[in-house]
Amino acid sequence: MKQGRLQITFDCHDPTSLGRFWPAALGYPEPDVDAWHAHLRQAGRAERDLHDVFAIEDPEGNRPRLFFQRVPEPKTAKNRVHIDIADLVLDQLTSGGAHAHFGFDLSGLSLRATDLDWSFGSGSPVSGTAGDLALLVCGRSLPSGRVQGAFSTDATT
């Protein structure tokens, strides 16, 4: 995702179905479900979780990315939609040494968000959701297993 682009997130029961509906409604290209699942597998997502999230993007990068995520509770009112700026927050935290304010050293690490097209740095790979990476960079403790790779979440304070 280009720096500064927005992601609109839909909380829903069936991410893949909505991910197939909205492109037609908004004029985005038809999504390649198999390619999306291959991307999720490569990011370390378990086979049983492949239908828990889905994303569509404008290939020209001019319109927001639409992200659909399964939530356990049933819909009881209007659609649940929110705008994510996680990539913007991560860019701010990792650029210009902002992470040093939190006592976190990023040297030698390659961070990659598993739910966004976002990465930073080079070196030993560390992956997790954008939210978990932001918490990590801010020096927050995370339960074991929330990030994968060369960094141990048990080392955070």
Q: How is the chain split into domains, by residue range?
A: 7-84, 86-151
How far apart are the C-alpha atoms of 39 and 58, rounded to whole Å? 17
How far apart are the C-alpha atoms of 141 and 135, rounded to whole Å? 8
pLDDT at 2: 47
pLDDT at 155: 40
Task: List pLDDT tens digits, range 101-117.
Answer: 677 788 889 999 988 88
What is the reported pTM?
0.53
Mean pLDDT of the chain, nearest integer: 81
Query: 79: pLDDT confidence band, cut at 50, 70 and 90?
Result: low
pLDDT at 98: 65
Asked if 109 and 155 count as a contact pair (C-beta separation under 8 A), the reply is no
CATH C-level class of 86-151? alpha beta
Residue type for position 113: A
101 vs 89: which has the higher pLDDT: 89
Kindly write down the DSSP assignment for every residue of 134-153, as one continuous string.
Answer: HHHHTT----TTSSEES--G
